[in-house]
Amino acid sequence: MEYVKTYTVNDEHIDIQNIVDGLYYPFYMEYCRHEYIREVLGFDFETEARNGVNMVLSRYTLQFVRSLKKGDTFQVTCSPLRDKTNKAVLHFKQTILLNNKIVTKAVFSGTCVRSTGGRPFLPEALTEKLADVPEWDGEL
């Protein structure tokens, strides 16, 4: 269930070396991940936050392979993965691709928490939609 979006490097993200500053790669992945979560999973961050449910990151691991440059048009992928041991955690395996070559790869892990506190959880509507996705094997 891979989701793909195309983006163009924002000129403001270019550093003194004329490449994208490392800080911005997770942002491009976030744009794609949030669109996937909203469009495919039906979880609207704004609506859910108003209802007291916040989806939050618990960790991420990112590996840089090559750099994006000014004017590059690239793809960002997003694939959900279930956690083997914790039903309250959801993983998203993501890549940034330029000309079909990996630029950056990452796994973002998250959960939901109520604004009033309590234990992390995944809403039933999400777990139902993700019942058939593979489990994360721990690899990038």
Handedness of CA 32, 34, 38, 40 (dihedral sign): positive
pLDDT given for residue 140 in this prediction: 87
Phi/psi of residue 11, nearest 5 degrees: -55, -30
Between CA 44 and CA 37 the distance in angstroms is 7
Between CA 62 and CA 104 the distance in angstroms is 7
Asked, for residue 134, whether it belongs to a domain, the answer is: no
Q: What is the CATH number of the domain that holds 116?
A: 3.10.129.10
Q: What is the pLDDT of residues 53-104, one digit of tens each?
A: 999 999 999 999 999 999 999 999 999 999 999 889 999 999 999 999 999 9
Put the strands of the sheet holding 53-64 in their side by side order.
3-8, 73-82, 90-98, 101-114, 53-64
The dihedral formed by the CA atoms of 118, 120, 123 and 127, expressed in degrees to the nearest 10: -150
Gyration radius of the chain over CA positions:
16
Amino acid making up residue 71: G
Q: Which domain holds residue 19?
A: 3-129
Asked, for residue 137, whether it belongs to a domain, the answer is: no
Number of structural domains in the chain: 1
pLDDT above 90 for 34: yes
Amino acid making up residue 109: S
pLDDT given for residue 95 in this prediction: 98
Q: Could you give the C-alpha distances from 38 to 13, 49, 97, 128, 140, in angstroms and in order?
A: 25, 13, 22, 15, 24
Q: What is the pLDDT of residues 113-140, one digit of tens each?
A: 999 999 999 999 999 999 999 999 998 8
pLDDT above 80 for 1: no
Asked, for residue 140, whether it belongs to a domain, the answer is: no
Asked, for residue 107, whether it belongs to a domain, the answer is: yes
